[in-house]
Amino acid sequence: MLTGIKRLNKMMEGVSKETFLDDLRLQDASAFDISTIGEAASNVTDEFKALHPEIPWIQMRGLRNRSVHIFDYEQIDYDIIWIVATEELPALEPKIRSALATIPLPDDFILPEI
């Protein structure tokens, strides 16, 4: 999840909404990263999700499902993708980091920097 957020942050840096909505590559890449974040969220255990209700697990999975299980790219609402990529996921990053900090990790494990 953190890697996907990092990629989105880097990709969206300095990009206006108008530019985003005109750039098919940015749209596809951001939808892909959001889908991988949702997939990662779906692999989190129910116990961990219950311990961290501040993270919108169901919504993350739902957005992933909507962006992956489409029949036509015109069904994706890129205005929503923009909001998720530029507002919601960056705001969610500290909550994910905080939740991950509750897991005992090996001393040599390093969370990706964002």
110 lies in a domain?
no
Instruction: For the chain, give the number of residues.
Output: 114
Full domain range(s) for residue 14: 2-100
Mean pLDDT of 82-97: 92
Q: How confident is the model at residue 72 (pLDDT cuts 50, 70, 90)?
A: low
Assigned domain for 10 exists: yes
Q: Which amino acid is at 54?
A: E
Structure-block tokens of residue 65: 């499902």
Q: What rounded mean pLDDT belongs to the chain?
A: 86
Q: 69 with 42: CB under 8 angstroms?
A: no
Instruction: State the total domains in the chain.
Output: 1
In a domain, 109, yes or no: no
Report residue 63's pLDDT band, with 50, 70 and 90 as the boundaries. Answer: confident
Task: Using a pLDDT cut of 70, give the percent of the chain over it.
Answer: 87
Mean pLDDT (whole number) for 51-65: 85
pLDDT at 110 over 80: no
Q: What percent of the chain clears pLDDT 90, i.e. is strictly above it?
A: 51
Is the residue at 49 inside a domain?
A: yes
Would you say residue 112 lies in a domain?
A: no
Asked if residue 39 belongs to a domain, the reply is: yes
Alpha helices of 1-114 — where are they, by DSSP H? 2-12, 17-22, 24-42, 46-51, 57-68, 78-83, 89-100
**Do residues 4 and 26 make contact, with C-beta atoms less than 8 angstroms apart?**
no
Token output for 58: 């169901």
